Structure 1
Amino acid sequence: MSALFSPFKLRDLTLPNRIVVSPMCQYSAVDGKATEWHMVHLGTMALSGAGMLCIEATAVEAIGRITPGDLGLYDDATEAALKPVLAAIRKHSKIAVTMQLAHAGRKASSHAPWDGGQQVALNEGGWVAQAPSPVPQKPGELPPQEIDAAGLVRIRDAFVATAKRADRLGIDALELHGAHGYLLHEFLSPISNHRTDAYGGSLENRMRFPLEVFDAVRAAFPASKPVGFRVSASDWVDGGWNVEQTIVLANELKKRGVDWIDVSSGGVSPLQKIAIGPGYQVPFAEAVKKATGLPIFAVGLITEPQQAEDIISSGKADFVALARGILYDPRWPWHAAAELGATVEAPPQYWRSQPSTQKALFGDTTFGGR
C-alpha cells in the first residue's frame, strides 16, 4: 500500500490521497472576477487525480489584491463569476476544492510577474497598500499606509465575509494565507511589523491579529468543514521570523482547532538568502509536525513520486502540495500512482489512456467500444 495514495480525513472531508494542488496565483482575473482562464486552468487541475485542489490566493478586499489581475471574492460580482467554474468542476470531478483566503498587505498594487512584478504607480492605476507598519517591501517603493484600529476590524470582517461566500459556493475547506510576505505574515514578522501597540513588539502581540482572523473565520465557516493555515516557517533573514516562532504559532492555532499547517518559507524581504534544493522546505514541515502533531502539508521542489512517498511514509508530513511541478505535468498524480502501484481517480473519458502495463491504474474500470 502506497502511503502517498492512502486516504486521510480532515473533519468531515475524506481525501483519497495525500497530493494537494497548491494555490497558484494566475493573475488573470478582471476586477477580481474569475475568467475563462480559471475555467480552463482549474478544470485541468481538477482532473489531475490529486486529492485536493486549492484555489489560488483569493483576495478578501479589492485593495488586498497583489496585482490588478488577482482573483477576489469580496462582492456579489466576484462570487457570481466563480459559480460556473465550480459547477464545471463538480460535474466532472470528485476532487475536494479548497480556497486560500488572502490579503496582500504591503505587496499589493504590483504588476503581474510577466510584466516585471514591480509596484504599480498611482498614476498608472495603482493604489496605496495597507500594512502593519509604513515600511515598504523594497527601498524606493511608495510606503504602505499603517492599518489603524478600524482597519483591523474591517479586514478581519472581510475575511469572515469571504469565508461565508466561499461556503455558499460549496467550497469544501479554507486555508488562510499567512506566508510569503503577505498581510498576515507581515504582522508575524519583526521585519515588517514595527508597531508599538498590542499588535506589535512581542511574539504574542505579533501573533494577535492573525489569530484573531483565524478565530473569526473558524467561527463563521461550518464546523464540519476544515480550515488550515499557511506559514512561512523562516524569513531566511537574520532577526526575522523563524521555525521556533512558527511552532509557537502552530500550537496556538492547534488550540483554536486548526486542521492543518501548510509549511512554506520566505517572501517578506528581498534580503532573504534561501538555500534551494530538492525538498528544501521539508525539514521545516518535519519540525512543525514533530512539535505539534498537527496534519502538515510539505512543499518546495517535491518533484518525484518516490520522493513524495518517502516524505509521507517517514512521517515528515501528511500531504505534499505541488505547484510548479503539477503545472508542468498536470497528470503527475497519475504517473505517481503508476510508479507506486496505486490507483487514482480519473473521468471515464480518459480510461482508455491507461498504459497496457498499468491496467488497474484507474481502479476496476472497463471500457467497451467499437
Structure 2
Amino acid sequence: MTQRILIIEDDRAVARLLALILEREGYQTLNAPNGLVGLKMARTESLSLILLDLMLPGFDGFEILSRLRNDPQLHKLPIIILSAKDKSSDKELASELGATAYLVKPYQINDLIELIDAALAPLVAPEEKRPGASVILVGPRAAEVASVAVQAGLALVQPGTEVTVVDLHPYSIEHALQLGIAPTTQPFLLQDARQPSKLQTKILHHSSGLKLLNNLVGSNAGGQLRKSDLQALTTALLEREQLVFFDLPLQPPTSLAQLAPLAALTLIVTENQPATLAATRTALNLLEQFQIPEKKIAFVLFSKEEESAPPPELSVLATLPPQFDATHPALQKLVVRLMALLKNGTWQID
C-alpha cells in the first residue's frame, strides 16, 4: 500500500517541490496551505505522516502540532517539523509537544528522506529474533554516554561472554581514548560491513576482552548513517551470540528509530538536570511512536549528591556520580540487570 504524506506548508513553490521529490520516492502527497485546512485533512484522509511548517498564517505550527497530538485518532501519527526557526527553544518546544523530528531549513533532501524512511519503516520487525542481544545507549552528551558504554562493557566481559561496543558517532574515537587503546587510523565505511572479513579487521581488542568498533563512516553526507549501513552492521554483529552496545548520537533521530525495534533495551544517559532531561524528549517521543514497551526503556542519570531526586515517572536504572569506574556499586547494579538480559534474552524493569 502506497504511503501518504500530508504537507502543511503555505509557500506553494516549496510545497510543490516537496511533493515532486516525495512522489519521485514513491510516496503519495497531499498539500494544505494553512494549519486549519491541514487539521481537517488529517482527520478525514488516511495518512502515514505529516510534514509541518511552523510559520503558517492563522494558527502557527506549534498550535497545529498541539491539536494533532491531543486528537485520540492522530496522536501517534509521525509529524516532522520543517522550519527556518533554528533556535534551541523552538526545537525543545516542538519536542515537548510531540514532534517526531525537527529539520531546519534549508536542509539536505537526503536528510529529509532518511527521516521519513525512519519514521515509516523501522529497520526490522520487533519480533525478529537474532542470536545476539543489543542495548542502545543514547543521550545529549557523547562523552557521558561513551563512559557508561565503556565501563559497563568492561564490567560485563568474562570468559564465555562476548561484548562489543559500537560507536555510531561518525569518525568518533572517544571510546578508544577512554579505553587507552590506539584507535583505527582509517575510517571504516559501514557499507563494507557486508563483508565479514573487512569488518573483523576493524574491530579493536582491549586487554580485558572487550571489543570495539569506532571511527565509522556512513554513506550520507558528513559520514551520517543510512538505513542500509545499519542493516549491514546489525546483520553482521547480531548473527553472533554476543551482547552489543550501540552508542548512538541523539540527533538526527533516524538511527534510533531504525535500531530501537531490534534492541532488548534502550538506555537514555543524561544528567539529572531539567535542561538535559528535556533534550531527551525527542528520543522518548520516537520510542513511543514505534510502540517500544516502557519496560525496554530506562534512564541512567549522572547526579551530584546535592541535586534533587529525578522525576518520579522516569524508570531510573542507575544513578552515577560524575566520576566512576567499572567497580562502582551503581554501575554494578546496571551490570547485574544486563547479565540477566544476556542469559535469558528478555528484559524487565522491576
TM-score w.r.t. the length of structure 2 is 0.31
> Larger strand proportion, structure 1 or 2?
2
TM-score w.r.t. the length of structure 1 is 0.30
